Amino acid sequence: MMFDFEYKVMRRPNRKTAAVSVKDSSVRVHVPQRTSDKRVEEIVRRKARWIREKLRYNREVRQSYRPKEYVSGEAFQYLGKNYRLKVVDGNSKDVSLVNGRFYVQIPDTLTGKTRDHRIVSRLTVWYQQHALEHLQEKVRRFSAQLVVQPSHVGIKNYRSRWGSCTSRGEVYFNWRIIMAPQRIVDYVVAHEVCHLVHHNHSQEYWKLLESVIPGYRECKDWLKVNGQVLEL
């Protein structure tokens, strides 16, 4: 059967189940080593509608996204709102958010990639500090609601996930989520805190999450579409 998209089959000897992943314009079908071509085609056919929708979403996001320029006037998101960058001459490592602007000090002698990297580095520190404070506060709120207590709350530089909850009760978040709107941040935090009650994705888990974040699926879909542009 011919499809209007291409896909790559990834066979692994230790894999037990089949799965389809879509990243940017790439479609991959992950299957056990002995899976027949006919079976692979059946899997793709069954997931074809979802694949097309995901590819369309990715195209729309990619078309609307442009690389950041680290100059005065560029916009950066914080809790879903845009704030303009103001680069001034100086060498302080501190970044300030004043009157709707991010102020970053960079020596005038720095140029090109070195200058851009310095700006990104200082903005990253600011975002990570504020992400930790903001996320810890939200974890406290949802933990009190569910009568649970994490053993630790921290941030990490995840590239393909927004949070995690370990079997030891440690909760971690991708610091970039702090760029998203408040309702999306609430969803990500609640998602992990609910794992302190159910450390799985059982039906009971999803019912609990729905009780905490009604309509959480909309937040989940928002992240699928917009998550890849939450970058500095």
Residue 129 located in a structural domain: yes
pLDDT at 58: 73
Q: Are residues 49 and 164 in the same domain?
A: no
In eight-state DSSP terms, residue 126 is: H
Strand segments, DSSP code E, in the chain are 8-12, 19-23, 26-32, 75-78, 81-88, 96-98, 101-105, 152-156, 163-165, 170-174
In eight-state DSSP terms, residue 13 is: T
Q: Are residues 110 and 215 in the same domain?
A: yes
Q: Are residues 89 and 45 in the same domain?
A: no
H/E element, 52: helix 37-64
Q: Are residues 30 and 91 in the same domain?
A: no
Query: Which residues, 6+ apart, have CB-to-CB distance to 28 below 8 Å?
Result: 7, 8, 9, 10, 20, 21, 22
pLDDT at 142: 98
In eight-state DSSP terms, residue 70 is: -
Q: Are residues 39 and 142 in the same domain?
A: no
Cα 97 to its chain centre, rounded Å, is: 23
For the beta carbon of residue 51, count every other beta carbon within 10 angstroms.
21
Q: What's the number of domains the chain is made of? A: 2
Residue where a domain terminates, one of 64, 89, 109? 64
Cα 72 to its chain centre, rounded Å, is: 26
Q: Are residues 24 and 118 in the same domain?
A: no
Q: Are residues 81 and 176 in the same domain?
A: yes
Residue 153 located in a structural domain: yes
pLDDT at 224: 82
Q: What is the residue range of 117's domain?
A: 75-229
Residue 54 located in a structural domain: yes
Residue where a domain terminates, one of 64, 87, 107? 64
Whether the CB-CB separation of 173 and 136 falls below 8 Å is answered with: no
b/e code 172-187 from CB counts within 10 Å (16+ = b): bbbbbbbbbeeebbbb
Residue 122 located in a structural domain: yes
Q: Are residues 131 and 202 in the same domain?
A: yes
Residue 181 located in a structural domain: yes
Q: Are residues 103 and 215 in the same domain?
A: yes
Q: Are residues 81 and 60 in the same domain?
A: no
Residue 1 located in a structural domain: no
Residue 209 located in a structural domain: yes
Walk along the chain (232 residues) and give the pLDDT tens digit of each residue.
678 899 999 999 999 899 999 887 899 999 999 999 999 999 999 999 989 988 887 776 665 567 889 999 999 999 999 999 999 999 999 999 999 999 999 999 999 999 999 999 999 999 999 999 999 999 999 999 999 999 999 999 998 899 999 999 999 999 999 999 999 999 999 999 999 999 999 999 999 999 999 999 999 988 987 887 899 9
Rounded Cα distance between 159 and 174, Å, is: 8
In eight-state DSSP terms, residue 232 is: -
Residue 3 located in a structural domain: no
pLDDT at 62: 62
The residue behind tokens 């500090």 is: 129
CATH number at residue 190: 3.30.2010.10
